[in-house]
Amino acid sequence: MRDNCIQSVGRAARVMGLCLLVLAGVAVSVPAVQAAEPEEAGFPVYKPPLRGVPAVRVGGGTRGAGDTATEVYVLTPEHMGLTSKSQPVLFWYLSRAVTASYDFVLIAETDYEPLVEARLTGIESAGIQRIALADFDVHLQPGVQYRWSVAVVMDQVHRSGDIMSSGMIEYIEPPAGLLANVEKASGEARVAQYAAAGLWYDALLSLDELMRSGTDVTRYRQMRASLLQQVGLNSVAAAVGG
């Protein structure tokens, strides 16, 4: 399946670049922070689903050194991340904006052809970026596991030089009682309920919406950094938590 996971202009080169990075496990994430710290700060605590699945996140790709280094991380747990939405919003991190192409690919683990293969535009600054699946008019199917990746394409011909990170997502239909409780909650309480239920993507989206409200942004940034630390994305947390 990996040899067929990416279509492109110059498809063979594109597939080779992505697959070499995935198989090589470009960069290993650092250990997760203990959950005691967010509890003491009153921050949401993410509780992973009890599925016993292996690590599936590949991230983050890095090129260069010092001030010229470029890093890409998809903001996912190391394991399968869950959502209760068929059109979730995905988040990824770019350490510095570069003059290059940015590719987004979404593919079901059981398929040969991508559900989405798109060139991302409007990326003018570093930091956390959003990808809304509604913009691509696609819906995830319940119980299907999908891999999504973001790649900074430094050379359209030699795709092995891509700076890439990927993770997994699965759309589930949670118990009605859980969704009812979430809908009644607001603000930080809603983020906390999503996190406690293991709905990673929903918790991150709910927190992002709070940040966009323009109130108490500093605390929400710290809260987001705490969630990122809990899934081992410590370097990203350090960069965006202030």
Instruction: Say whether pLDDT at 81 is over 60.
Output: yes
Span 24-30, average pLDDT = 36
Span 64-79, average pLDDT = 81
Stronger pLDDT, 48 or 2, i.e. the higher one = 48
Of 67-71, 116-120, 156-160, least confident by mean pLDDT is 67-71
pLDDT at 100: 85
Of the candidates 81, 104, 99, 92, the residue with the CA atom closest to the CA atom of residue 198: 81
Neighbour-count burial of 49, counting CB atoms closer than 10 A to its CB (0-12 exposed, 13-18 middle, 19+ buried): middle
pLDDT digits (tens, 9 = 90+) for 97-121: 888 889 999 999 999 999 999 999 8
Confidence at 11, pLDDT banded by 50, 70, 90? very low
Averaged confidence pLDDT in the chain = 81
pLDDT digits (tens, 9 = 90+) for 167-220: 999 999 887 788 888 888 888 999 999 999 999 999 999 999 999 887 788 999
Strand partners, 90: 131
Q: In the chain, what are the domains?
A: 2-237 (2.60.40.10)
Tell me how far apart the alpha carbons of residues 121 and 91 are, in angstroms, rounded to a whole number.
Answer: 15
Residue-wise burial string across 54-87, b where 16 or more C-beta atoms lie within 10 A, e elsewhere: eebbbbbbbeeeeeeebbbbbbbbbbbbbbbeee
Strand partners, 42: none
Span 133-161, average pLDDT = 91
| pTM of the predicted model as reported, rounded to 2 decimal places | 0.80
The DSSP line for 154-211 is S-SS-GGG-EEEEEEEEE----HHHHHHHHH--THHHHHHHHHTT-HHHHHHHHHHHH
pLDDT at 47: 92
Amino acid letter, residue 173: E
Instruction: Say whether pLDDT at 148 is over 50.
Output: yes
Span 140-145, average pLDDT = 94
124, 163 Cβ separation under 8 angstroms: no
Confidence at 14, pLDDT banded by 50, 70, 90? very low
Tell me how far apart the alpha carbons of residues 28 and 14 are, in angstroms, rounded to a whole number.
Answer: 22
241, 221 Cβ separation under 8 angstroms: yes
- For residue 106, the surrounding DSSP H or E stretch is strand 101-108
Strand order, beta sheet including 70-74: 61-63, 70-74, 89-94, 127-132
pLDDT at 34: 37
